[in-house]
Amino acid sequence: MEGGDTSRGSARMGEYEVGKKLGIGAFGVVRSCVHTATRQEYACKTSKDSRAATTEIAMLSRVQGHPNVVRLEAHSHNQGYIHVLLELCHGGDLLEHVESLRVARSVGKGEAVLSEGEAAEALLAVVLALSFCHSRGVMHRDVKPENLLLPRTDSRLCELKLADFGGAADIANIKVIEDDSIGTFDYQAPEIHSEVIYNETVDVWSLGVVLYFLLLDHLPFEQSAIPHIFQESDFSCNLSLQVENSQPSISHHAKDLILNLLQVNPSRRLSLSSILTHPWLCPVLNHALINYDEYLIKKSTEGDTNNPEFSFHVELPLLMVPSKLQAKLAVKNQLAKKTRKKLIHQLARPGLQHQLNLPPLNPSGFLGSISKFWSYHVTKYLKDSI
């Protein structure tokens, strides 16, 4: 590639070797590329220089710093094209992952490939990513399995990264949609097709469709029906019957969550914070807290917060922290190192699960075990926040 704009945050594309095509979408082509000097691999998205491409860079730049959002490395404007360098996720997308598991597990079409525990891990990753994006004033508008990437081939589903911000928009400036080609029809909220001003709750609807697909192995609506859903007075009743009689059968809490995500009225959809405290996801959070006291004290004593065993960190959003604890977190810049360690011990002893008011874990529940992975994330979040 020829050299282009080399301002801060941009790249000299002549320094990269372009490899195979990884994918193609409405807004450009994605290829693998390697930095000639460091041999570091990246994904390079190339599209025509346009307002849409510039907006994508702006939106993605705004949501950097979260481990469940794909990392923007650099960008270059050159000869009418924009090249965007992104972290390369070797594990592929969630749809590819599900299909590979289908083969490995000998699961037929129409049968759930993922367990409810695995689907819960995936959902939690996406909720955390969307929560972060919305807090930065960005709605994604194209949440679907193909835009959820796994960093490595052996990654857990809780490591999913939200990608492709080609359809993202500023929440504060959204108006009636001018181009209904934005997003993917099967996953679009009905209000997008109804000539009304919508908001970030369109991402919650898409999240509901993703969850429905992961648990039931098919999409909830025919494409032709989506534009008319907004006018259907009996939609909720029909969907409830559809979910209740679904095959394969899913748990009561899973059904309840799906129905509360796929609400035609945007104001009735669950908020992201409510999703995190929904009974279906509580076991995921509880597993993070089973050995929380012992693990937190051990880590704070060792001072080992950069254990190479953990290559990334997932933040539990502050909205999950009770108000009393928020007050303590707010004074983080006023606490000396010794005081911080003392406070960590104080928080650990009573057990964070009691402060979060979560129900106790049912050992025979759907999740099984989730290792010390989440324990570390809770630890890291508190240490960084205090």
Instruction: Give pLDDT < 70 ranges for the chain.
Output: 1-13, 26, 175-181, 223-234, 284-386
Q: What is the pTM of this model?
A: 0.74
CB count, 10 Å around CB of 149?
26
Q: Which of 247, 280, 313 is the last residue of a domain?
A: 280
**Residue 62 lies inside a defined structural domain of this protein:** yes
Same domain, 163 and 99: yes
Cα→Cα distances 328→301, 349, 382, 383, 386, Å: 20, 16, 10, 12, 7
Cβ atoms within 10 Å, residue 36: 11
User: Does residue 63 share a domain with residue 181?
Assistant: no
Q: Quick check: bond before 220 cis, omega within 30?
A: no
Q: Is residue 4 one of the residues assigned to a domain?
A: no
DSSP state of 173: G
Residues 162 and 206 in one domain: yes
Shared domain check, 98 and 215: yes
Rounded CA-CA distance 351/349 in Å is 5
Which positions make up the binding site for ATP?
45
**3 lies in a domain?**
no
The 8 Å CB, 24+ separation contacts for 96-104 are: 97/150, 97/157, 98/145, 98/214
Q: Is 189 exposed, middle or buried (0-12, 13-18, 19+ CB in 10 A)?
A: buried
Residues carrying an active site annotation: 142
Residue in the structure block whose two tokens are 């360690």 = 341
Domain of 47, in residue numbers? 13-87
289 and 276, same domain (yes or no):
no
pLDDT at 253: 92
Q: What gap in Å lies between CA 171 and CA 154, rounded to an integer?
A: 35
Tokens of 339: 């005081």
Same domain, 227 and 317: no
Residue with tokens 């460091």: 38
Residue 2 lies in a domain: no
Instruction: Measure the CA–CA gap between 267 and 127, rounded to whole angstroms.
Output: 18
Cα 378–Cα 383–Cα 384 angle in degrees, nearest 5:
100
pLDDT in tens, 60-110: 999 998 889 999 999 988 888 999 999 999 999 999 999 999 999 999 988
Q: What residues form the annotated binding site?
A: 45
244 and 142, same domain (yes or no) = yes
How many domains does the structure of the chain reveal? 3
Helices and strands per DSSP (H, E), number in the chain: 13, 9
Q: Tell which residue, 131, 135, 139, 126, has the closest CA to residue 183.
A: 139
Q: Tell me, yes or no, whether 129 lies in a domain.
A: yes
| CB 318, CB 326: distance < 8 Å | yes
Give pLDDT, residue 180: 56
- The pLDDT, as a whole number, for residue 313 is 30
187 and 201, same structural domain? yes
**7 domain-assigned:** no
What H or E segment, with its residue span, contains residue 42? strand 41-48
Task: Examine the domain organization and report whether 116 and 56 are in the same domain.
Answer: no
Does one domain contain both 155 and 202?
yes
Could you say which of 280, 296, 331 is where a domain stops? 280
- As a whole number of angstroms, the distance between CA 1 and CA 36 comes to 12
Enter the DSSP assignment of 263: -
Residue ending a domain, among 41, 69, 87, is 87
Residue 191: give its domain's CATH number. Answer: 1.10.510.10
Q: Has residue 297 been placed in a domain?
A: yes
The pLDDT value recorded for residue 13 is 63
* Token duo for residue 349: 């002893």
Give the largest Cα separation in the chain, rounded. 62
Whether 320 and 221 share a structural domain: no
Domain co-membership, 256 together with 340: no
Q: Are strands 161-162 and 81-87 parallel, antiparallel or unpaired?
A: unpaired
What is the Cα 328 distance to its own chain's centre?
28
Q: Considering the domain boundaries, does residue 82 fall inside one?
A: yes
CATH number for the domain harbouring residue 53 = 3.30.200.20
Q: Residue 322: what are its φ and ψ, rounded to 5°?
A: -60, 160
Residue 81 phi, psi dihedral angles, 5° rounding:
-125, 155
Q: Tell me which H or E stretch contains 377.
A: helix 373-385
